[in-house]
Amino acid sequence: MRKIAVLTSGGDAPGMNAAIRAVVRAGIYSGFQVFGVMRGLQGLIQGDWQAMNLGSVADIIHRGGTVLKTSRSEEFMEIKGRVTAYRNLQRAGIDNLAIIGGNGSLTGGWEISKLGVNVIGIPATIDNDIAETTSIGFDTAVNTVADAINRIRDTASSHGRVFIIEVMGRHCGEIALSAGVAGGAESILIPEINNDLREVVNKIKQGAKRGKLYSIVLVAEGAGSTYEIKEILAEQTGMDVKVIILGHIQRGGTPSAADRILASAMGKAAVDNISEGKRNVMMAGDCHNIEGVSLEGALNKNRQVRNDLVALARVLST
């Protein structure tokens, strides 16, 4: 019987459990034996996996995090670690590996595919920084940040304060841009665009002239030092400026319906691609259309900034 190992790797993302569930159940439906690997790529090196059955993934579709746990494996980044992992898979007769994770994890998958195992990538990272696809977890993180903006706006407007909210995304501004538009942030700073703080200062000052004594400035963590931005805005506007670092709450919570649907569809598509004999592909698309694209090709492409959202924010936020 053909075998599939499935793992989650890198920063966890809401929806990972829905993807695990789909790979296991679609795999069993299609006649595969499916094995769940613990703690991501490090679990491959340790040979730490167990056979999964339909009941193994019961009642997890709505849970954040990952029941298979995750890690960032330095050892796997070395060829010695990958050879150990590959030999473990060979000894177990496992020739297909489904990796649910972000850029770093899928890159590790591409590297071990060079040894002979068939790697199927399922993009899962709140950063949404992988080219050609929407990543699992992004929609939930955007909703979490949009909700936080609503709550902060209540107190900012009550006290007449400027709040700088720092969001995750590593070197990508996708969360800040989408959540900023959804939350009506007055200013959005992302690493993909050179940000001129004079524009932010002028917007705050113009608002004050109209009697709007508060502002929400959303800063992607890769766009610069949030505390330096705070000092500049406080000095140049004379306003009371506060900083909130949302941090890891963006990684938790029950996945949105959109993320559960995306994860379920990508997990099944991964099994279908294996059944069709596709090798070393990444599931790419959105809730409506998913296809297997070259894993290497996707990893070698840079994701383009959503200029449509940049333009929308410029027009609508005052």
Residues that bind ligand F6P (CB under 6 A): 11, 102, 125-127, 168-170, 221, 251
Helix (H, G, I), strand (E, B) or coil at 292: strand
Report the Cα 222 to chain-centroid distance in Å.
Answer: 15
What whole-number distance in Å separates Cα of residue 106 and Cα of residue 112? 10
Q: Choosing from 48, 59, 95, 127, which is the catalytic residue?
A: 127
- Token pair of 152 as six digits: 């902060």
What whole-number distance in Å separates Cα of residue 53 and Cα of residue 7? 15
Question: Which ranges of the chain does DSSP label H, i.e. alpha helix?
Answer: 16-29, 40-46, 79-92, 103-113, 138-159, 174-183, 197-209, 226-237, 257-275, 295-299, 307-316
DSSP string covering 158-222, please? HHT-EEEEEE--TT--HHHHHHHHHHT-SEEE-TTS---HHHHHHHHHHHHHTT---EEEEEEGG
Q: Does residue 95 carry a catalytic annotation? A: no
What's the length of the chain? 318
User: Which CB sits closer to ligand F6P, 47 or 224?
Assistant: 224
User: Which CB sits closer to ligand F6P, 113 or 144?
Assistant: 144
H/E segment holding residue 293: strand 290-294
User: Which CB sits closer to ligand F6P, 126 or 149?
Assistant: 126
User: Which CB sits closer to ligand F6P, 125 or 140?
Assistant: 125
Q: Least distance in Å: CB of 2 to ligand F6P?
A: 32
Q: Give the relative orientation of helices 138-159 and 174-183 as an angle to the nearest 10 degrees.
A: 50
User: Which CB sits closer to ligand F6P, 160 or 252?
Assistant: 252
User: Which CB sits closer to ligand F6P, 14 or 81?
Assistant: 14
Q: Least distance in Å: CB of 143 to ligand F6P?
A: 16
What whole-number distance in Å separates Cα of residue 222 and Cα of residue 138? 17
- Find, among 150, 135, 154, the residue nearest to 251 by Cα: 135
Q: Least distance in Å: CB of 145 to ligand F6P?
A: 12
CA-only gyration radius of the chain, Å = 21
| Catalytic positions, written as ranges | 127
